[in-house]
C-alpha cells in the first residue's frame, strides 16, 4: 500500500496549490487546546534517551481508564484489527475527504477527534487500504495534512495514525520524523512499519532504532530483524540485543537462532559474548510468551559449548546462574539435551 505518482515516481513534497494559504504553508488551525504540547516537539527536546518517558498526554489517558500501561504495551499485547475497523475507517476517510475539500477549524476538529477517539492499531491497516483504493483523494494534500498532524498533535493516537499514513509514501522524505518518533516505545511499532513501507529495505534503520529503545519498541524491532543475514546485527543480538525492559524471554529465541549462538560460541570467546549467551540460555529455560529451550534445536550444542567455555575461566554471576540452570534443566528433561548421540551434552 504505497502511494506514488502515475509513473511510479515519488510524489513531490509541499507543492504550491492554488487556493487556501493553509495548503501552501502546511499550517492549519489547531483543533485542540493551544496550550497543549505537541508530542513531536516534546520528544525533539527530550534528547536521545526517550524510550519510555511519560508523554504529555499521559494525564488525559489516565483519566479515561483505571488501567495503566507502560509505553507500547497496549499495542504490543492487545493490539490487532478491531471488528468495527471497516466502519471506523470509512468514517475517518469521509472526514479526510471533507478536510481536503474545505480545510477549516470545524472540519479539522471533527476529523482530528475521529483519530483521537479510536485506537490507531485497531484500524490503521484498513484505513491505509481504503486510502490506497480511493482514487478521488488528493495524495499531495493528504501528505501535507498528516505530516502537520504528526509534527503538531498532542494526542498519541492521532500521531500513530499519521505515521501509518505517511509511511504509505515511498522515499526517505519522512525518515527523520519516523526515526525521532520511533525512539519512544509508544510509537516504535508504527515507525518500524512506516520505515519498511516507505524505504523497502529498512534493515539498517530498524537496527539503529532498536539500539535506541529498550521496552516494547526493542521487542517490536528485533522481531522484524529475525531474518537478517548481517553478521554485525547477528553479533549484536547475541551480545545484548535480546535484552529489554519487558521480558528477555520475548527475544531470546531470535537471538539464539538468528544470531547463531552456536556459531558464535564456536568462535572467539570473551566476557561480553558469554554474558549474552548466559542471558539467552536463562531466558530460554525460564520460558514465557515466546519460544523456549524446547524449541531451540541447537540447545544441546549451545549448552555444551557454553559450559565448556565458562568452566575454564572466571565466570560472572550471570554465567554461573546459567550453568546452574542448565545442569538442573538437563537432569529434569534429559531428552531436550540428548535427542540423539551427536547432540549429547557433557556436564
For the chain, the farthest-separated pair of C-alpha atoms sits apart, in whole angstroms, at 78
Asked whether residue 101 falls in the same domain as residue 220, the answer is: yes
Domain span at 238 = 227-347
Asked whether residue 220 falls in the same domain as residue 78, the answer is: yes
Instruction: Choose the final residue of a domain: 170, 204, 225.
Output: 225
CB 200 within 8 A of CB 182: no
Cell 565458562: give the residue: 310
**Alpha helices (runs of H) in 245-316, residue ranges in sequence order:** 252-257, 261-265, 271-286, 299-311
Asked whether residue 105 falls in the same domain as residue 174, the answer is: yes
Residue 19 backbone class (left: φ over 0; alpha: ψ -120 to 50; beta: rest): left
Whether 11 has a pLDDT exceeding 50, the answer reads no
pLDDT per position as a tens digit, 79-99: 666 678 899 999 999 999 999
Q: What is the mean pLDDT of residues 9-33?
A: 64
Question: Which residue did the predictor score with more confidence, 337 or 161?
Answer: 161
Taking residue 289's Cβ as centre, other Cβ atoms within 10 Å add up to 11
Asked whether residue 91 falls in the same domain as residue 176, the answer is: yes
Whether 5 has a pLDDT exceeding 50, the answer reads no
C-alpha dist (Å) from residue 341 to 155, 338, 344:
59, 7, 5
Overall number of domains in the chain? 2
| CA gap 1, 126 in Å, rounded | 11
Q: In this structure, is residue 267 part of a structural domain?
A: yes
Q: Can you give the pTM of this predicted structure?
A: 0.85
Cell 500513530: give the residue: 160
C-alpha dist (Å) from residue 87 to 119, 157, 334:
14, 18, 54
Residue 172's SS3 state is coil
pLDDT per position as a tens digit, 162-172: 999 999 999 99
Q: In this structure, is residue 34 part of a structural domain?
A: no
C-alpha dist (Å) from residue 225 to 76, 124, 197, 242, 257:
17, 22, 15, 11, 12
Burial of 179 per CB tally in 10 Å (0-12, 13-18, 19+):
middle
Taking residue 39's Cβ as centre, other Cβ atoms within 10 Å add up to 25
Q: In this structure, is residue 5 part of a structural domain?
A: no
Q: What is the mean pLDDT of residues 113-125?
A: 92
Q: What pLDDT shows up at residue 122?
A: 86
Q: In this structure, is residue 52 part of a structural domain?
A: no
Q: What pLDDT shows up at residue 311?
A: 86
Asked whether residue 277 falls in the same domain as residue 174, the answer is: no
Q: In this structure, is residue 84 part of a structural domain?
A: yes
Q: In this structure, is residue 92 part of a structural domain?
A: yes
Whether 50 has a pLDDT exceeding 80, the answer reads no
Whether 335 has a pLDDT exceeding 70, the answer reads no
From the CA atom positions of the chain, what is the Rg in Å?
24
Amino acid at each position: 500500500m504505497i502511494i506514488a505518482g502515475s509513473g511510479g515516481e515519488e510524489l513531490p513534497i509541499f507543492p504550491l496549490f492554488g487556493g487556501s494559504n493553509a495548503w501552501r504553508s502546511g499550517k492549519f488551525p489547531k483543533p485542540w487546546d493551544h496550550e497543549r504540547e505537541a508530542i513531536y516537539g516534546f520528544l525533539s527536546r527530550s534528547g536521545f534517551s526517550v524510550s519510555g518517558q511519560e508523554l504529555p498526554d499521559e494525564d488525559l489517558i489516565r483519566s479515561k481508564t483505571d488501567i495503566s500501561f507502560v509505553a507500547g504495551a497496549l499495542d504490543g499485547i492487545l493490539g490487532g484489527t478491531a471488528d468495527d475497523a471497516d466502519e471506523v475507517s470509512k468514517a475517518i476517510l469521509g472526514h479526510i475527504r471533507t478536510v481536503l475539500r474545505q480545510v477549516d477549524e470545524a472540519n479539522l476538529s471533527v476529523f482530528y477527534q475521529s483519530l483521537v477517539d479510536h485506537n490507531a492499531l485497531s484500524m490503521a491497516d484498513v484505513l491505509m487500504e481504503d486510502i490506497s483504493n480511493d482514487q478521488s483523494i488528493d495524495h499531495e494534500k493528504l501528505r501535507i495534512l498528516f505530516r502537520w498532524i504528526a509534527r503538531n498533535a498532542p494526542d498519541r493516537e492521532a500521531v500513530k495514525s499519521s505515521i501509518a499514513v505517511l509511511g504509505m509514501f515511498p522515499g526517505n522524505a519522512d525518515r527523520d520524523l519516523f526515526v525521532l518518533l520511533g525512539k519512544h516505545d509508544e510509537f516504535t511499532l508504527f515507525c518500524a512499519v512506516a520505515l519498511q513501507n516507505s524505504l523497502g529495505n529498512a534493515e539498517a534503520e530498524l537496527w539503529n532504532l532498536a539500539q535506541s529503545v529498550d521496552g516494547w519498541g526493542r521487542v517490536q524491532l528485533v522481531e522484524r530483524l529475525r531474518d537478517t543475514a548481517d553478521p554485525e546485527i547477528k553479533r549484536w543480538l547475541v551480545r545484548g540485543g535480546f535484552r529489554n525492559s519487558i521480558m528477555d524471554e520475548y527475544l531470546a529465541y531470535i537471538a539464539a537462532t538468528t544470531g547463531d549462538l552456536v556459531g558464535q560460541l564456536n568462535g572467539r570467546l570473551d566476557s561480553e559474548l558469554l554474558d549474552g549467551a548466559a542471558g539467552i540460555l536463562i531466558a530460554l529455560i525460564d520460558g514465557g510468551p515466546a519460544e523456549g529451550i524446547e524449541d531451540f534445536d541447537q540447545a544441546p550444542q549451545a549448552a555444551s559449548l557454553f559450559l565448556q567455555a565458562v568452566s575454564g575461566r572466571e565466570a560472572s554471576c550471570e554465567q554461573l546462574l546459567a550453568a546452574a540452570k542448565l545442569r538442573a534443566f538437563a537432569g529434569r528433561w534429559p531428552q531436550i539435551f540428548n535427542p540423539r548421540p551427536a547432540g549429547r551434552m557433557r556436564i
